[in-house]
A and B are shown apart, each in its own frame.
Chain A
Amino acid sequence: MSSPAKWEAVIGLEVHVQLHTQTKMFCGCINQYGGAANSQVCPVCLGMPGSLPVPNEEAIRKTILTGLMLGCRIAPVARFDRKNYFYPDMPKNYQISQFEDPLCAGGAVGLDPFLFPKDLQESDEAKAKRSIRLTRIHLEEDVAKSFHYEERSGIDFNRAGTPLMEIVSEADLRTPGEAFAFLGSLRQVLLSGGVSSADMEKGQMRCDVNVSVRPVGQKEFGTKVELKNLNSISGVRRALEYEIGRQIGAVEKGEAIQHETRRWDDDAGATFTMRTKEKAHDYRYFPEPDLLPVRTDQGLRKAAESGLPELPAALQARLMQENGVTAYQASVLAADRVLCGYYEKAAAGTKHKAAVANWILNDFLATQPDPATSPVRPEFFGELAGLVVEGVINSAQAKKVFAELMANPASPKAIVEKLGLAQISDVGALAAFCDEAIAANPRSVEDYRSGKSNAINALKGFVMKKSQGKANPTQVDEILKAKLSA
């Protein structure tokens, strides 16, 4: 039986990210998912003899930007290399990649506690806020898409040659939860820079995992296994949980771990051997003779620097400090820049920035809105929060205003008027209600005066009923207490 305390896992990730560009890496064919098969191809991306690659400046800029966002060293001179292998999805029989001199080296991804799985957010591993080192980031071209039939395979080259960034981590991760948080945190950074949509379920971010186990305290790594076919961030977690358990079970039974590639089957919830790695791949890398080295120190780095966004960690700190939102709210906002922009517009014109965050992240988000196109103008939330804080309406009335705001977007002030909701804060009117309540409930008055302070609730209820819920509860409380102690 596995005893987790005795074993630890060592995990490294290789993450492929599709860059958000108009065109492919080395030719002007469009880089867009979903076109008719083989309609976005040309002699360059079909690997026809005599064609020559010309690098896409934007793809290089976005890779450097990613490196800057993750604290990497940017190579002043980077080179492209040929990675040689035979596979029908790669028509040149080599992939243009980077081997010796990648664009970025080093760097790290900080694990955001709120990007751990929900059930682990209070755990020690989430609170540790570890930083996971990166080995390198390089730029290469993606391969074609294959469809496998009974006897043959069919190839669509639309994806062939589209820019693909590979981010390689050090073997610093120790748990499936950390791997989950790494991918979420990395995705947040990529989104903030507009580098990629990085959605694993759409294949915009793909991840290979290397995992081994060793006794706690041992320095040497165990034999590593590579996992493939991981199609979601939670799939990565599930696959690792299974695979780590499998390896510990095997080692405890005295079995040796095979150096192999295993395929994750999400439906079966298990990994299966794809191929054993008896011989290391020999890709015979050599410098791509069709491309000169790329100098990043002649403007490319500067161009990337000018595109540096406010990074998720800095954004979260600012929202918490300046707007008083909670750490959790800051993390949710940092994860969705469109929503965050909406919130910032909503909060801009009001003092009640934390209250606005509650409205947007609790009530508004629950309606599954598209903040980019919502007819509900962000300023309305500033106004709504103000109406509550300033006592014009109470919180029950505010819920009604919110419902109306979603149904027929209009200024909350106008809605309050239309629905006749405004809270009664006029002291004279409220005092009249209170006198009525005292006169009609002698028993409660007596109870209150004899020390049962709860008895005042019956009087308040009477006032609320009489005022059709419009009385300002705080004021009613004050007036009643004053009258009863007189």
Chain B
Amino acid sequence: MTEQAQKYVGGGVPRKEDPALVTGKATWTDNIKLPGMLHFALLRSPMAHAKITNIDASEALAMPGVQAVYTAEDINNDMAAGLPCAWLVTEDMKSPVHQPLAKDEVKHLGDAVAVVVADDRYVAKDALEYIDVDYEELPVVTKMEDALKSDSPLVHEEFGTNECYTWPLATGDVDEAFKNAPVIVKERYIQQRLLPTAIECRAVVANPDPVNGGFTVYTATQIPHILKSVLAGICGVPEQKMRVVAPDVGGGFGSKLNIYAEEALAVVLARKLGVPVKWVEERSENYLATTHGRDQIQDLEIAATSEGKILGLKVKLLADMGAYLQIFTPGIPTFGGFMFPGVYDFENYSFECKGVFTNKTPTDAYRGAGRPEAAYGIERIMDSLAREVGVAPEEIRRRNFYEPFDEPTETPAGIQYDSFNLQGALDKVLELADYEGLRAEQKRRRDDNDPVQLGIGFSTYTEICGLAPSQVLAAVGLGGAGWEAATVRMLASGTVEVVTGTTPHGQGHVTSWSQIAADVLGVTPDDVEVLHGDTAISPLGRDTYGSRSLTVGGVAVHLAAGKVVEKAKKIAAHMLEAAEDDIEFENGTFSVAGSPDQNVSMATVAGEAFLGINLPEGMEPNLTEDSSFDPPNFTYPFGAHICVTEVDTETGFVKVRDYFAVDDCGPIINPIIADGQIHGGIAQGLAQAIYEEAIYDEDGNLVTGSMLDYLIPGAPEIPHFTLDRTITPSPSNPLGVKGIGEAGTIGSPPAAVNSVIDALSTHGVTHIDMPTSPMKVWTAIQNAKGERAGTRDADRSGRPAQATDNVDEKGSESL
């Protein structure tokens, strides 16, 4: 490939996306209005588990403005198949039938039972009140450990169990490693359930196409391409007649990475009624009907030498599936199973995950998707190990890091990390944070018995990014098709269209892909238009999730642009009557080596390729090239974070004072955008660590059912971030890039909780579960006062929704 100096890549090019967004001219799905469009609303179950004995919609149907009311009987037969789960983690995994509307039984609060179609959304909502549903209450199970007991109520009677699957992974001889280990540390951590909360709720518009009999679906989604294939399949529409458009999408974080009931319903309703239909989610509905994140009970055991060198790691997870399996539900925790060994070089590892059904909203991908859970587990227990062997947290990590490497290296989980230099990242973050100064301040406060203690918490993490290698995805039960596609075409005017299969919703692909293409083609980013998000414009794509867009899709843009230059070079040689090998390309100009006056611009070559009059013998006209990039391996960004907290020992209040992060995601395309991704990621991780928790009561009611009750941190709760980076290129792709969208969310929760515990270490506190609310922190301090100092017993009570033995009062209070 022709390589030339990078002019725009690596620079902070201001975002091309912004003008529409700062002036209010963006096209959100809810902004789409089509002639004759009707609105639909869903009646959702007020119970977590009940039989539906009767539904009477006659009163609702009689209301002015109501066009139709449908229940499962009217809708589900219109489906060719139910809502799919695409991740078959084991062959005997139990996968329940999941239709857009519940038929005989509702299985979680918010399960939809009927749909009203009306002239406007107020009328549709009003009519919901006039549908009478008779429910016969069934026993509810919300806690995983209860759900696995033999006398538990069953979410799906037909399976005879609430266990969805058990997935094991083992390498080396773990039992042998533990048998003679001088040090063994055992912990239980609770990964509380989270509500992803993209600020734009979901919305969908389906428009029947009178010409080809198909449909155009506009939807607030991260995955228009996957949705096109799947919606066509489950709704019985020929794939080529289905078009899906993701207009401007207001955040996703994994919660818009799914095939939702409302999207299928929109197609079915548009087909039934022959008119466009629209559904817009409300926030309280979002909290019930959009997938949740996390929700695991993690049991970890680590064996080590007396110097703290890891000998083996055992991990057992219970992972809450909720009531149904959405597209990736069962695979999120098992994906995390590959990441518990973290950045540490050891050999013996065993992992077992049980997926469990409960009467709650299904879980699925949420920023990090399995990896924040894993990083949290290993990074928390590394601190416990440090305490046990009596070394500093940074030292225990250093003793176990891999030596830096730049070629794929086998891990205890049987995958291959691409390139690491944790030592470099740790050194840099220690300096960035003035670590010595922080420890000195901590000592001062301790010596002074300051009621507000200082905490310094570490995490050194890695993550698995760039979901791609099709063969690997197939091997883990995810079907394959992990490639990403791009088309780069020079137009007759010398400007450029880049078509990408990625689907940005805040990540700035339009700007970054412009930079990549501009550098290869010798044009400016303003000369490049990036087209995306509409399957009619960008027919091939695998969409945006798992920090894959740059590492797979951005690379595809780079490769396609390279192919354009190769072809253009042949045309230039022909035009200049020179040998192709003698042609040089720089700054958008082809010239003959040694005779710079003999030259022709890329724009002129593009014009010639378009006209097709004077091309080399046998060459086809036009400068347009495709790439479908399928890399050989994942990428593994890594980093070292330090979270500095001030913990008020009298009130339990935690303030994050500073946050220092050194992240390594390989070479940077746009530092402004990359830093922005890190900022947002860290904030979302701090949100889990300190503030957020979705709480269900015993009856399966979501107690945190609106933003009034679910604490999303605002600007006062989030600190200023101090960032730096190291650059270790990945051998997995020609740009060496690794991905950065989830790094902050993965690195920050353990750093924050380790920090809070560090602040309280002289009080004897060794464990607090997330979120570290004032009540939990205060309770931990009080409990530690009453126990022997230095205890390492984890709080096993967990939170109401996630664990069982609430008889132990520790940590069981609400916020």
Whether chains A and B associate is: no
* A→B interface (CB under 8 Å): none
